[in-house]
C-alpha cells in the first residue's frame, strides 16, 4: 500500500498482504493506527525511502513486526509520539543523508536486535522514551538531545569512597556505566566534586575517563588531586557525574 500525502486515522493494518506501508514524496500522518501481524515476516511496516515526512502519533506497531520504521530519508522528518513499536529485528532504523530530523517522544521502542538505529541525520531528539533490551546505535548526528530515556544511559553519576595513603594523587573511582562504548574521551563530560574534608583539603581535583586495560575503550573514571590526600580509611569521597555528548 502506498501513500502520497494524507492523514490516516484509526486504521488497523493487521495482516496487510504486502507487510508494509510506503510513504514517498509526501507528508503522511498516522494517528491512532494499529499495525500488526504483517503477512511478510521479514519486511518493514513503514518504509520512507524517498523524501517523505511521517508522523506516527498514538499508534501500535506490535505482534509479528520485523522492522518497524525503515527510513532512508532525504530532506524529511520522522516524528514518533505516544507510540509503541515492538519489533523482532529493529524498531526504528534511519540512515539519512545528513539533512533529516527525527523526534521520538513519550514512546516505547523494543527491537530484537536494535531498539534504535540512527546514522547520518541532522537532528535527533529523544525524550521520555523507553528502550528495551536491544542495542542503540547513534552516529553522525549534527544536533542531538537525549533525555529521560529508560534502559539507555547517556548520563550517570555515583559516589566513590577511597582511602588515602599520603602519597597517591591519582585514584580509580569506578566504571562509568554509560550504555555507550566510548573510544573517544572527548565525547564524554566528566565532572567531580570532593565530598569529604580530606578530599577537599587535597583539591582541586579533576576527573577523567580512563582505559584501564588499554583495549581502546574508555570504561573507567579516574580522579587526580593536586596534592595527595591524607592517609586514612574511607577518608576520600568524590561525587562524580558523566554525560555522553557524542
The residues of the shown chain that bind Ca ion, judged by CB under 5 A, are 211, 213, 215, 217, 219
Phi, psi torsion values for 187, nearest 5 degrees: -95, 5
Q: State the minimum distance, in angstroms, from the CB of residue 135 to Ca ion.
A: 19
Q: In what order do the strands lie in the sheet with 205-210?
A: 170-175, 220-225, 205-210
Between 17 and 215, name the residue whose CB sits nearer to Ca ion: 215
Q: State the minimum distance, in angstroms, from the CB of residue 221 to Ca ion.
A: 12
How far apart, in whole angstroms, are the C-alpha atoms of residue 35 and residue 20?
Answer: 9
Between 10 and 185, name the residue whose CB sits nearer to Ca ion: 185
Q: State the minimum distance, in angstroms, from the CB of residue 242 to Ca ion.
A: 15
How far apart, in whole angstroms, are the C-alpha atoms of residue 135 and residue 131?
Answer: 9
Helices (H), the chain: 197-202
Between 46 and 182, name the residue whose CB sits nearer to Ca ion: 182
Q: State the minimum distance, in angstroms, from the CB of residue 184 to Ca ion.
A: 13
How far apart, in whole angstroms, are the C-alpha atoms of residue 189 and residue 4?
Answer: 44
Between 206 and 217, name the residue whose CB sits nearer to Ca ion: 217
How far apart, in whole angstroms, are the C-alpha atoms of residue 244 and residue 147?
Answer: 11
Measured over the CA atoms of residue 243, residue 105, residue 53 and residue 44, the dihedral's sign is positive
Between 217 and 245, name the residue whose CB sits nearer to Ca ion: 217
Q: State the minimum distance, in angstroms, from the CB of residue 213 to Ca ion.
A: 4
Amino acid at each position: 500500500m502506498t501513500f502520497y500525502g494524507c492523514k490516516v486515522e484509526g486504521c488497523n493494518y493487521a495482516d496487510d498482504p504486502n507487510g508494509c506501508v510506503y510513504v514517498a514524496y509526501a507528508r503522511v500522518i498516522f494517528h491512532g493506527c494499529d499495525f500488526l501481524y504483517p503477512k511478510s515476516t521479514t519486511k518493514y511496516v513503514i518504509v520512507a525511502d524517498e523524501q517523505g515526512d511521517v508522523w506516527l502519533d498514538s499508534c501500535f506497531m506490535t505482534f509479528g513486526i520485523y522492522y518497524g520504521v525503515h527510513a532512508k530519508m532525504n530532506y524529511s522528518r520522522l516524528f514518533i509520539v505516544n507510540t509503541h513499536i515492538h519489533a523482532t529485528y529493529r524498531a526504528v532504523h534511519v540512515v539519512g543523508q545528513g539533512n533529516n530530523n527525527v523526534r521520538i517522544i513519550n514512546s516505547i521502542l523494543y527491537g530484537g536486535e536494535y531498539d534504535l538505529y540512527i546514522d547520518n541525520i541532522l537532528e535527533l531528539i529523544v525524550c521520555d522514551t523507553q528502550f528495551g533490551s536491544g542495542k542503540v546505535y547513534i552516529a553522525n548526528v549534527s544536533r542531538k538531545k537525549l533525555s529521560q530515556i529508560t534502559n539507555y544511559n547517556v548520563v550517570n553519576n555515583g559516589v566513590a569512597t577511597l582511602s588515602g595513603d599520603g602519597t597517591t594523587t591519582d585514584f580509580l573511582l569506578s566504571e562509568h556505566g554509560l550504555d555507550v562504548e566510548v573510544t573517544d574521551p572527548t565525547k564524554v563530560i566528566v565532572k567531580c566534586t570532593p565530598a569529604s574534608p580530606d578530599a577537599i583539603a587535597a583539591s582541586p581535583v579533576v576527573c577523567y575517563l580512563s582505559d584501564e586495560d588499554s583495549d581502546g575503550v574508555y570504561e573507567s573514571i579516574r580522579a587526580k588531586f593536586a596534592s595527595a590526600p591524607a592517609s586514612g580509611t574511607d577518608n576520600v569521597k568524590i561525587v562524580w557525574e558523566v554525560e555522553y555528548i557524542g
